[in-house]
Each structure stands twice: as structure tokens, then as C-alpha cells.
Structure 1
Amino acid sequence: MNIYVGNISWNLKDQDLANLFAPHGEVTTAKIITDKFT
């Protein structure tokens, strides 16, 4: 399942995002896209 999360801090790293969602279930990958054309 992919989940879009918007309006997050530019300082947030992939692992930080994974840690935020971990209490709600297994996070297999977390990827923050910083290039709007990616």
C-alpha cells in the first residue's frame, strides 16, 4: 500500500517518516520525494 503524506517538514528524513507510522503497523519502506518531477 502506498500512502501520500503532504505538508511535511523539509528536515524530515525517510527513517523519521517510517518511525512515525511504525506504531500503526509494519513499514516496509518510506521514501520522501524532494523533487516534484520525480
Structure 2
Amino acid sequence: MKLQKQPTLADTICDLRARKIKRTFFSQIDTLIDWV
């Protein structure tokens, strides 16, 4: 196994998707807190 310095396209896409999900999740929590 050799170390990859550059992430593959799939890794990048997964990372972006995870970040987007987290952002949506946190913004929903913020809205919920504001609403309560």
C-alpha cells in the first residue's frame, strides 16, 4: 500500500457530500433552536 498524497475524485466527492449534509444538518438545528 502506497500513500496517496492527492485524494481521488471519489474521495473528494464523498467529502463534499458529507460537508454539505453536515452544513444542512447544522443549519436545520439552528433553525430549530431559533424556533423554540
TM-score normalized with structure 1 length: 0.32
Q: 1 or 2 for the larger relative contact order (CA 8 Å, sep ≥6)? A: 1
TM-score normalized with structure 2 length: 0.34
**Rg larger for:** 2
